Amino acid sequence: MSDALGQHLLAALATVPAAPLCVAYSGGPDSTALLHALAQLPDARARGLRALHVDHGLHAHSAAWAKHCQRYCATLQLPCAVLRVQVETDRGSGLEAAARHARYSAFAEQLQHDEWLLLGHHRDDQAETVLLKLLRGAGPDGLGGMRARRPFGRGQLWRPLLALSRQALREHVEAWQLPCIEDPSNADTRLARNQLRHEILPRLRQHWPQAVDSILHSAALSRAAADTLRTQWLAALDNLHDPASGSLDAAGWLALDPALREPLLDHWLHARGRSAPTTAQRRQIERQCAARPGQLPCIRWPGTELHVWKQRLWALPPARSAPVDWTVRWHGEPLTLPDGGTLSLHAVEARLAEPLDVRLRRGSERIKPAGDAHTRELRDLFQRDAMPPWQRAGCPLLYAGEELIAVADRWLSARGAAIFQHAGARPCWRAAR
């Protein structure tokens, strides 16, 4: 039996370091063909070949699919770990993107040191990806499509099949009569990729039989252009990025040519675990870079808040909301705040003689700091102390009855100072972001 897929993988393995191998195995035809073909190669087995299957829990049969994958791997005498994930569908990024984020996060966490994660993406997947990027207004980097290799987790991510067609993988499955899972969501044309796969690309091929070849040729040119630009914007990033705060010089970024500005922003955001903005959001960021002093612009999109503050860009996760009337009785024990921050006492075992009420800002709060001749509005104190605006809503306010006696660990009234002196410990606030 001719095994073109096996020969392709054998040649591909000869070009990469002898690292441990792990296949992202969904149970579908593509990953099944990849896993099976690798299992026939002694070189792959010698590298500790194993499989990872992600159970998203989005389909009623997902648990059965996970068992199928484990059973099939057992027939190949390969280990298969099932990773169960929670897909966060409330971020506004869509089900496809949320599932992909959960899947890749699980893979990155499970990947061992120097291990290579192999994905079954092929040339038809690449063409679909490039078209999706084009329709979303991507630049050269996006139009370059999926990279064959890139750092990932503690190892590398590798797509060794990008030169092969979907048909070549299906022929391998049919020739070996391999058992595969057919996920019904793959036929749902309400999903963007499926719409392209089942309706758009077939119609393109009717008129332009060479459509996929042309798309991939353009992708290769875009990738080459993107890699050339990358050397320039990486040099600019070194000058604009402050490693201590993680922030970016807003004016310097805005002064860059758009061909450098956009990929630099995306790279910076991804490095901070945030998602890239749409074209409209990019334009909004550019406009807000010129905000007047005192303004606190914040541009939001799913998974990200981008603040413009002190002439710099700050990328943060979305703020957690809390009830306006949130309040907790506090005796000095470690307390988790609604935004994920914490309040405690410096002395771990210390406790307050009388409990205080912990609240969040509701507006117009005032305090007379110990040693200050004047009562101050919190707004003025925050500005004077240069507290980042995204931390202010989560700053804990400590009350004795209805008197504000402490603003986190920043300002204490004379009464507050006496209370904490008696306790033998000062408050300690760790902001969430």
Q: Mind giving me the DSSP string for 28-91?
A: SHHHHHHHHHHHT-HHHHHTT-EEEEEE-S-STTHHHHHHHHHHHHHHTT--EEEEE----TTS
HSE-CB of 292 using CA atoms within 13 angstroms = 1
What percentage of the chain carries pLDDT values higher than 70?
98
pLDDT bucket at 347, cuts 50 / 70 / 90: confident
Tokens of 26: 């969904």
Averaged pLDDT score across all residues of the chain: 92
Partnered with residue 404 across adjacent β-strands are: 399
Tokens of 379: 């707004």
pLDDT in tens, 110-154: 999 999 999 999 999 999 999 999 998 888 999 999 999 999 999
Which is higher by pLDDT, 186 or 236?
Answer: 236
- pLDDT, average across residues 101-117: 94
Q: What is the enclosing helix (H) or strand (E) of 228?
A: helix 211-240
What percentage of the chain carries pLDDT values higher than 90?
80
pLDDT in tens, 10-64: 999 999 999 999 999 999 999 999 999 999 999 999 999 999 999 998 888 899 9
Partnered with residue 259 across adjacent β-strands are: none
Q: How high is the pLDDT of residue 188?
A: 83
pLDDT in tens, 250-271: 999 999 999 999 999 999 999 9
Q: Is the pLDDT of residue 305 over 50?
A: yes
HSE-CB of 215 using CA atoms within 13 angstroms = 24
Sequence-separated (6 or more) residues with CB below 8 Å from residue 343: 330, 334, 335, 337, 358, 396, 408, 427, 428, 429, 430
Query: Residue 428 has what DSSP assignment?
Result: E
- pLDDT, average across residues 302-328: 91
Which is higher by pLDDT, 94 or 249?
Answer: 249
pTM of the model: 0.75
Which is higher by pLDDT, 243 or 324?
Answer: 243
pLDDT bucket at 193, cuts 50 / 70 / 90: confident
Which is higher by pLDDT, 294 or 225?
Answer: 225
pLDDT bucket at 2, cuts 50 / 70 / 90: low
Q: How high is the pLDDT of residue 249?
A: 97
pLDDT in tens, 354-384: 999 999 998 889 999 999 999 999 999 998 9
State the CB neighbour count (10 A cutoff) for residue 141: 21
Q: How high is the pLDDT of residue 390?
A: 92
pLDDT bucket at 1, cuts 50 / 70 / 90: very low
- Grouping H, G, I as helix, E, B as strand and the rest as coil, residue 378 is helix
Highest mean pLDDT among 85-89, 134-138, 217-221: 217-221
State the CB neighbour count (10 A cutoff) for residue 384: 9
* 21, 107, 157 from 63: Cα distances, Å: 25, 18, 26
- pLDDT, average across residues 169-179: 96
Q: How high is the pLDDT of residue 203?
A: 94
* Residue 114 C-alpha from the chain's centroid: 21
Task: Evaluate whether 31 touches 117 at the Cβ level (below 8 Å).
Answer: no
* 32, 140, 142, 265 from 222: Cα distances, Å: 31, 5, 8, 18
Q: Is the pLDDT of residue 90 over 70?
A: no
Q: Edge-to-edge, what's the strand order for the sheet holding 149-152?
A: 80-84, 50-55, 21-24, 116-118, 155-158, 149-152
Domains of the chain and any CATH numbers = 4-213 (3.40.50.620), 243-316 (1.20.59.20), 327-430 (no CATH)
